[in-house]
């Protein structure tokens, strides 16, 4: 077990819980967006047969870039949202003293 990662989410600070939630949300939304967009667009290009393999690969790269940007935007919102919370775990901090 790595000591910097507590086994329980109860030991995480509110700010870390918000960041973790936004990271998972961003990852899930980005993967789903890629699968939906790529599944439709790339399958249509392949079935139509008018696009070359390099054109299909380029389209996949653009879709991946858009999903990466979506991930970055959601994580950025999470970082801003987590700045409103404390970064110390519950029961720790200057008013409680060290355990």
Q: What is the pTM of this model?
A: 0.71
The DSSP code sequence of 25-82 is HHHHHHHHHHHHHHHHHHHHHHHH--S-HHHHHHHHHHHHHHHHHHHHHHHHHHHHHH
pLDDT confidence of residue 32: 96
Structural domain boundaries in the chain? 34-87
pLDDT confidence of residue 14: 84
pLDDT confidence of residue 33: 95
pLDDT in tens, the chain (99 residues): 455 655 555 578 888 888 899 999 999 999 999 999 998 888 888 888 888 889 989 999 999 999 999 999 999 999 998 888 877 766 665 555 555
User: Which is nearest to 59 in space by CA: 39, 31, 30, 32?
Assistant: 39
């Amino acid at each position: 077990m790595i000591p910097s990662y507590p086994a329980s989410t109860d030991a995480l600070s509110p700010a870390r819980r918000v960041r973790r939630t936004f990271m998972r949300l961003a990852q899930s939304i980005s993967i789903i967006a890629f699968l939906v967009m790529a599944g439709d667009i790339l399958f249509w290009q392949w079935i139509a047969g008018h696009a070359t393999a390099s054109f299909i690969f380029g389209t996949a790269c653009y879709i991946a870039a858009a999903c990466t940007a979506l991930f970055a935007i959601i994580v950025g919102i999470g970082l801003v949202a987590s700045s409103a919370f404390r970064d110390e775990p519950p029961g720790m901090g200057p008013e409680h003293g060290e355990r």
